[in-house]
C-alpha cells in the first residue's frame, strides 16, 4: 500500500477507487479461497477433521429434527409410535441428503452457480 | 473450577445476574453483559476507526475498512450482486459472533455463544429471514424448492417431507455447530486447567505432568482463537449460502 502511493494524481479519487477495487479483488480471491476451488459450502474447513465434523453435524441434525418432530406429533395426537417411527426414517434420509448435497458428485455447479 | 479434587468443567457456563439487585430484578446475566460489550466493541471499532476519514488509513481505520471489505466480499461473492442488500445483517451477525467467541477466550470472560439458547435463536432468525426473503422474491414458486426437478410425481409424497426436513435441519446444524465448538473448547480448557492444579498440588512427582498439561492449555488457547474466528466465519458464510439459495432458488 505505502509503496504504490504518490504519483499519478490526475484524479486522485478515481485512482484510489481503482486501487481499492483491485485490492478488494485481491482480497476476494484471497479471503475465501475455497469459493473458487473446492468450494463446497463456501470454503469451509478442508482438513479431514473439519470435513468429518461437518458431515457428522449435517447427518445428525436432520435426525434430531426428525425425532423431535415425530415425538412432538405423537405427543400431541396420542398416536404413540407412528409418527416417531416415520420421522426417524425421514430424518435419517434427510441427513443423508444433506451429506449428499455437501459431498456428493456433481453438486458443485448447483451450489456455486451464480 | 476444580474444587478439591473434582473436575467441574460445566459450572463455567452457569448464568448469574450481574449489577446486583438492579440486574437481578430484570434478569440481566453476564451473558447479556457480554452481548452488550460485543456490540459496543464493534460499534467502537467502526466509530473510532472511521473518525479520521483519512485517504491513507491508520491502524484503526485499516481494521475497520478491512472488516467492511471482508464481509462485503463475502456477501457479494457468495450471494451475488444482491448480496449488498444483506450486508448489514451479515456484518452484524459475523461481528456479534466473532466478538462473542473471542471475548470468551479472555480470562474471566463469559462466552455467550456457548449457550444453545443463543445460537439456536440466531439460527432460527437466519432461517426465518431466509424463508421470508425467498417468499418475498419468488412468491409461492418458492415451494418448488422442495420438489427436485426431474423426479416422478409418484415419489413426491416421500421426497417432499425429506426435502422439508433437510431444509429445517439447517436450524439444528447451524446452531449446534457453533454451540458445540465453543462449549467443547471451553470444557477442554477447564479440564486441562484442573489437571494443572491437581497435578501441581500432588507434589514433586506431579510437576512434570502439570507442566505438560499447562503446555497443552497454552496450545489450546491458540486453538480456541482459531476456532472462535473460524466458527464466526462459518456461521456467516453459511448464512450467505442459504441466502444465495433463497435469492436464486436454482
pLDDT digits (tens, 9 = 90+) for B32-80: 999 999 999 999 988 988 888 888 888 888 888 899 999 999 999 888 8
Residue B74 is inside which H or E element, if any? helix B59-79
Q: Would you call B25 an interface residue with chain A, using a CB distance cutoff of 8 Å?
A: no
- Minimal Cβ distance to B169: which of A35, A41, A94: A94
Residue of A39, A57, A89, A99 to mutate, interface with B, max B Cβ within 10 Å: A57
| Residue B245 backbone dihedrals phi, psi, to 5 degrees | -60, -40
Which residue from B39, B245, B32 is spatially nearest to B127, judged by alpha carbons?
B245
Residue A106 pLDDT level (bands cut at 50, 70, 90):
low
CA distance B234 to chain A (A): 7
User: What integer pLDDT is reported at residue A11 of this predicted model?
Assistant: 52
Residue A13 pLDDT level (bands cut at 50, 70, 90):
low
Residue A8 pLDDT level (bands cut at 50, 70, 90):
very low
Domain boundaries, chain B: 14-248
A103 and A72 assigned to the same domain = yes
Q: Compute the half-sphere exposure of residue B154: CA atoms within 13 Å on the CB side of its CA.
A: 0
Q: Would you call B18 an interface residue with chain A, using a CB distance cutoff of 8 Å?
A: no
A53 and A27 assigned to the same domain = no
Whether residue B101 is predicted with pLDDT greater than 90 in this model: the reply is yes
Residue B208's Cβ-count burial label (10 Å; 0-12, 13-18, 19+) is exposed
Provide the terminal-to-terminal Cα distance of chain A, rounded to the nearest Å: 32
A60 and A110 assigned to the same domain = yes
Q: Partners of B3 in the beta sheet? A: B6
- d(CA B42, CA B52) in angstroms, rounded, equals 17
Most confident residue range from A29-43, A98-112, B219-233 = B219-233
- d(CA B227, CA B205) in angstroms, rounded, equals 34
A30 and A59 assigned to the same domain = no
* Cβ under 8 Å to A: B residues 69-128: 69-70, 72-74, 76-78, 80
Angstrom distances, CA of residue B55 to CA of A15, A44, B118:
12, 34, 39
- d(CA B191, CA A41) in angstroms, rounded, equals 33
Q: Would you call B238 an interface residue with chain A, using a CB distance cutoff of 8 Å?
A: yes
Cα-to-chain-centroid distance, residue A24: 22
CA distance A98 to chain B (A): 6
A→B interface, C-beta within 8 Å:
1-2, 5, 12, 16, 23-24, 27-28, 31-32, 35, 41-45, 53-54, 57-58, 60-62, 64-66, 69, 87, 90-91, 93-95, 97-98, 101, 110-111, 113-114
> In this complex, do B69 and A24 lie within 8 Å of one another by their Cβ atoms?
yes
User: What integer pLDDT is reported at residue B81 of this predicted model?
Assistant: 85
Q: Would you call B241 an interface residue with chain A, using a CB distance cutoff of 8 Å?
A: yes
| A–B CB contacts, 8 A cutoff, strictly below | 97
User: What integer pLDDT is reported at residue B248 of this predicted model?
Assistant: 86
> Which value, in Å, is the radius of gyration of the alpha carbons in chain A?
24
> In this complex, do A43 and B237 lie within 8 Å of one another by their Cβ atoms?
yes
Mean pLDDT of A69-84: 89
What's the farthest any 2 CA atoms get from each other in chain A?
79
Whether residue A87 is predicted with pLDDT greater than 60 in this model: the reply is yes
Q: Would you call B250 an interface residue with chain A, using a CB distance cutoff of 8 Å?
A: yes
Whether residue A37 is predicted with pLDDT greater than 80 in this model: the reply is no
User: What integer pLDDT is reported at residue B52 of this predicted model?
Assistant: 82
CB B78 within 8 A of CB B247: no
Which one has a higher pLDDT value, B128 or A44? B128
Q: Partners of B6 in the beta sheet? A: B3
> In this complex, do A24 and B73 lie within 8 Å of one another by their Cβ atoms?
yes
Which one has a higher pLDDT value, B186 or A15? B186
A28 and A70 assigned to the same domain = no
A69 and A98 assigned to the same domain = yes
What pLDDT digit, counting tens, does each position of B102-120 carry?
998 988 888 899 999 999 9
> Could you tell me the sign of the dihedral formed by the alpha carbons of A11, A14, A20, A22, in that order?
negative
A15 and A66 assigned to the same domain = no
3-state secondary structure of B28: coil
Whether residue B250 is predicted with pLDDT greater than 70 in this model: the reply is no
Q: Would you call B161 an interface residue with chain A, using a CB distance cutoff of 8 Å?
A: yes
Residue A69: list chain B partners with CB under 8 A. 165
Whether residue A105 is predicted with pLDDT greater than 90 in this model: the reply is no
Domain count of the fold of chain A: 2
% of chain B residues with pLDDT over 90: 38
Cell numbers representing residue B178 in the block: 457453533
Residue where the block lists cell 465448538 = B181
CB B49 within 8 A of CB B63: yes
- Minimal Cβ distance to B173: which of A32, A57, A93: A57
A31 and A52 assigned to the same domain = no
A64 and A91 assigned to the same domain = yes
Domain that holds residue A102: 45-114
* B172 → chain A, closest CA residue: A61
Q: Would you call B162 an interface residue with chain A, using a CB distance cutoff of 8 Å?
A: yes
User: What integer pLDDT is reported at residue A14 of this predicted model?
Assistant: 67
What residues contact residue B136 under an 8 Å CB cut-off, 6+ apart? none
Mean pLDDT of B170-187: 91
> Could you tell me the sign of the dihedral formed by the alpha carbons of B8, B13, B14, B20, in that order?
positive
Q: Partners of B29 in the beta sheet? A: B17
What pLDDT digit, counting tens, does each position of B196-229 carry?
888 888 878 888 888 888 999 999 999 999 999 9
Which one has a higher pLDDT value, B61 or A48? B61
CB B33 within 8 A of CB B18: yes
A32 and A65 assigned to the same domain = no
User: What integer pLDDT is reported at residue B14 of this predicted model?
Assistant: 84
> In this complex, do A66 and B165 lie within 8 Å of one another by their Cβ atoms?
yes
User: In this structure, how many other beta carbons lie within 10 angstroms of the beta carbon of residue A16?
Assistant: 14
Q: Would you call B54 an interface residue with chain A, using a CB distance cutoff of 8 Å?
A: no
Amino acid at each position: 500500500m505505502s509503496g504504490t502511493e504518490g504519483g499519478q494524481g490526475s484524479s486522485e479519487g478515481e485512482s484510489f477507487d481503482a486501487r481499492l477495487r483491485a485490492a478488494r479483488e485481491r482480497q476476494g480471491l484471497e479471503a475465501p479461497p475455497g469459493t473458487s476451488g473446492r468450494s463446497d459450502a463456501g470454503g469451509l474447513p478442508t482438513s479431514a477433521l473439519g470435513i468429518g465434523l461437518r458431515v457428522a453435524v449435517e447427518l445428525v441434525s436432520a435426525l434430531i429434527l426428525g425425532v423431535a418432530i415425530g415425538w412432538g406429533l405423537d405427543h400431541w395426537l396420542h398416536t404413540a409410535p407412528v409418527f416417531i417411527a416415520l420421522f426417524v426414517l425421514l430424518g435419517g434420509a434427510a441427513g443423508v441428503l444433506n451429506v449428499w448435497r455437501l459431498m456428493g458428485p456433481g453438486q458443485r455447479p448447483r451450489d456455486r452457480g451464480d | 473450577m476444580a474444587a478439591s479434587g473434582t473436575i467441574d468443567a460445566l459450572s463455567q457456563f452457569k448464568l448469574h445476574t450481574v449489577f446486583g439487585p438492579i440486574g437481578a430484578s430484570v434478569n440481566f446475566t453476564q451473558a447479556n453483559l457480554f452481548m452488550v460489550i460485543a456490540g459496543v466493541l464493534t460499534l467502537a471499532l467502526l466509530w473510532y476507526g472511521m473518525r479520521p476519514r483519512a485517504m491513507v488509513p491508520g491502524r484503526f481505520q485499516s481494521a475497520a475498512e478491512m472488516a467492511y471489505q471482508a464481509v462485503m466480499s463475502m456477501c457479494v461473492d457468495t450471494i451475488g450482486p444482491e448480496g449488498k442488500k444483506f450486508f448489514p445483517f451479515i456484518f452484524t451477525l459475523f461481528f456479534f459472533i466473532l466478538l462473542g467467541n473471542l471475548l470468551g477466550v479472555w480470562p474471566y470472560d463469559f462466552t455467550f455463544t456457548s449457550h444453545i439458547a443463543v445460537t439456536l435463536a440466531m439460527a432460527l432468525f437466519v432461517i426465518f429471514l431466509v424463508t421470508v426473503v425467498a417468499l418475498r422474491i419468488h412468491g409461492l414458486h418458492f415451494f418448488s424448492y422442495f420438489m427436485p426437478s426431474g423426479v416422478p410425481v409418484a415419489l413426491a409424497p416421500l421426497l417432499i417431507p425429506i426435502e422439508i426436513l433437510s431444509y429445517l435441519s439447517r436450524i439444528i446444524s447451524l446452531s449446534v455447530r457453533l454451540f458445540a465448538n465453543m462449549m467443547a473448547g471451553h470444557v477442554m480448557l477447564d479440564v486441562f486447567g484442573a489437571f494443572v492444579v491437581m497435578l501441581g498440588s500432588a507434589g514433586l512427582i506431579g510437576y512434570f505432568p502439570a507442566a505438560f498439561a499447562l503446555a497443552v492449555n497454552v496450545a489450546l488457547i491458540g486453538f480456541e482463537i482459531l476456532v472462535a474466528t473460524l466458527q464466526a466465519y462459518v456461521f456467516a458464510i453459511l448464512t450467505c449460502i442459504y441466502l444465495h439459495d433463497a435469492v436464486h432458488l436454482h
